[in-house]
Amino acid sequence: MGNKKQLFEILLDPSSNDAEKDDAVIELGDNYDDEETIDFLIEVSNLYSNNDMIAASCGESIGLVYVRTQKIDYEKICKLKGTALSEALSLIKKHRIDWYESYLCLNSQKKTN
pLDDT of residue 1: 57
Q: What is the mean pLDDT of the chain?
A: 93
Model confidence pTM above 0.85: yes
Average pLDDT of span 85-113: 90
Q: Residues 91-103, buried b or exposed e (16+ Cβ, 10 A)?
A: bbeeebeebbeeb
Domain spans, the chain: 4-112
The two counts, helices (H) then strands (E), for the chain are 7, 0
Q: Write the CB contacts of 23 (distance below 8 Å, at least 6 apart in sequence).
A: none
- H helix runs in 48-96, sequence order: 52-69, 74-77, 82-95
Quick one: pLDDT at residue 102?
94
Residue 113 CA to residue 110 CA, distance in Å, equals: 5
